[in-house]
Amino acid sequence: MILFPDDRAVSPEHANFYFRDGRLYLSDLGSANGTFIRLRAPIPLESGDRFVCGEQMFEFEKLNTAPQAHWQHGVCYCGSAPLWKWHYQIRQILSWEREGIVRSIGSEPFTIGRDDCTLTFPQDRFISQHHACITTKNDPNPDPVLVDTESKNGTYYRIRQEVGLKNGDYLFIGKQLIRVELR
């Protein structure tokens, strides 16, 4: 058992490390903040997936691109142009689950970094100039993929299910950065 009593971002029963068939695995135990692992390769994104670049946390959401009118008392509500050309949204997640910046994504690459990106965070000392990218295939049903663009500190994604760990993997449990060393 590994305890982090001073880290208020760690749940009482946060994650489980275990061996099976001679390999080390990790699973999240339904923790409040999730368990994150550093990207080793591009990973497909699903609605609700969260990932971290530098000190910024994001949530990915697939949009319903079919136009839908909103009616109230027999009148069609008007507003900004519909999001028909956008397939996804990225939401910055702030402390206490508050929503920060929200951006919509079409089929073009969406970049995150400190400078000259679709979404920039010049004040974040842990984010690389060109940190990560979300790309899609250009077809009617694009498949979004999260890619680390050779960032210095890595891009981390919240695990959905158990993952097999390798020597040198990095994890975030709460605010704790953990390096896996297998001997």
Predicted model pTM: 0.87
At residue 120, what is the residue type?
T
Average pLDDT, the chain: 90
Q: What is the pLDDT of residues 46-64, one digit of tens each?
A: 999 999 999 999 999 988 7
Q: What is the pLDDT of residues 84-132, one digit of tens each?
A: 577 889 999 998 889 999 998 887 889 999 999 999 999 999 999 999 9
Q: What is the pLDDT of residues 148-176, one digit of tens each?
A: 999 999 999 999 999 999 999 999 999 99
CA dist list (Å): 21 to 16, 18, 151: 16, 10, 33
The pLDDT of residue 141 is: 57
Contact 39, 157 (CB under 8 A): yes
